[in-house]
Structure 1
Amino acid sequence: MEFCPTCGTLLQYEMPYMGRPSRFYCPTCPYVCYIENKVKIKRKQRLVRKEIEPVISPDDMKNAPTAEVSCPRCSHDKAAYTEFQTRSADEPATIFYMCLNDRCRHRWRED
């Protein structure tokens, strides 16, 4: 949506006609803005993916309490866990688990 810079009215679109390019025009004042057919790209910029920081670092899980929960990846029966309130206060907390098997170290959560 484009608005008229002089009176603020919503501009209307007019198709090209008899060699005249397409344009936006104001129905209440004489403002006209011609539309160019070619779009010029001035520069290209590569997007850089930001590094994602983990919610819970491995250091946090070293001193965490343990529970007898089966790991979904390796079926080990012990996991360290931490609990965070990630949603509103009237909803249950989210529990983050980390498998205590040295080969697995799988992380999962339970909402």
Structure 2
Amino acid sequence: MEFCPTCGNMLQYEMPQMTHPSRFFCPTCPYVCNIESQVKIKRKQRLVKKEIEPIISPDDMKNAPQTDARCPKCGHDKAAYTEFQTRSADEPATIFYMCMNERCRHNWRED
């Protein structure tokens, strides 16, 4: 998608005709951009994945209340939990759990 540098509207594509080559034009202002027959790649940019920071860190769960929830990974029967309203107000809150087994520390949630 290309946008008009003058007014910001989305440009429309016009097929080539005898009088002009194919081009993009703005339906609201007189802006026209002719399309060259050969496309050139100006630059290649390598995408780098960003490190994802956890929403709830293990430090946040140290003082969180605990419950008798079974860990789906290791089967331990104690987990710390916290609640967040991740959806609209008329939907139930999302409960985030963390296994209290020192070797596991698996995180999961219930929507």
2:71 aligned residue:
71
Q: Tell me: CA distance 1:84–1:14, structure 2 relative to 1, closer, same or farther (3 Å).
A: closer
1:60 aligned residue:
60
Q: Tell me: CA distance 1:55–1:42, structure 2 relative to 1, closer, same or farther (3 Å).
A: same
* Secondary structure at the counterpart of residue 52 of structure 2: coil
Q: Tell me: CA distance 1:53–1:11, structure 2 relative to 1, closer, same or farther (3 Å).
A: closer
Q: Distance in 2 between matches of 1:86 and 1:36?
A: 48
Q: Could you list the runs of 5+ residues in structure 1 that have no partner in the other structure? A: 26-30
Q: Distance in 1 between matches of 2:54 and 2:91?
A: 23
Q: Could you list the runs of 5+ residues in structure 2 that have no partner in the other structure? A: 26-30
1:13 aligned residue:
14
Q: How many percent identity over aligned positions?
A: 72
TM-score (norm 2): 0.72
1:109 aligned residue:
109
Q: Distance in 2 between matches of 1:59 and 1:2?
A: 46
* Cα distance, 1:52 vs structure 2: 1.0
Is the 1:16–1:23 Cα contact (8 Å) retained in structure 2?
A: no
1:28 aligned residue:
none
2:51 aligned residue:
51
Counterpart residue type for residue 14 of structure 2: Y
Instruction: List aligned pairs for 1:22-101, cutoff 5 A.
Output: 22=22, 34-101=34-101
Q: Distance in 1 between matches of 2:72 and 2:17?
A: 63
* Cα distance, 1:102 vs structure 2: 1.1
Q: Which has the larger radius of gyration?
A: 1
* Cα distance, 1:35 vs structure 2: 2.9
2:28 aligned residue:
none
What is the alpha-carbon root mean square deviation over aligned residues?
2.9
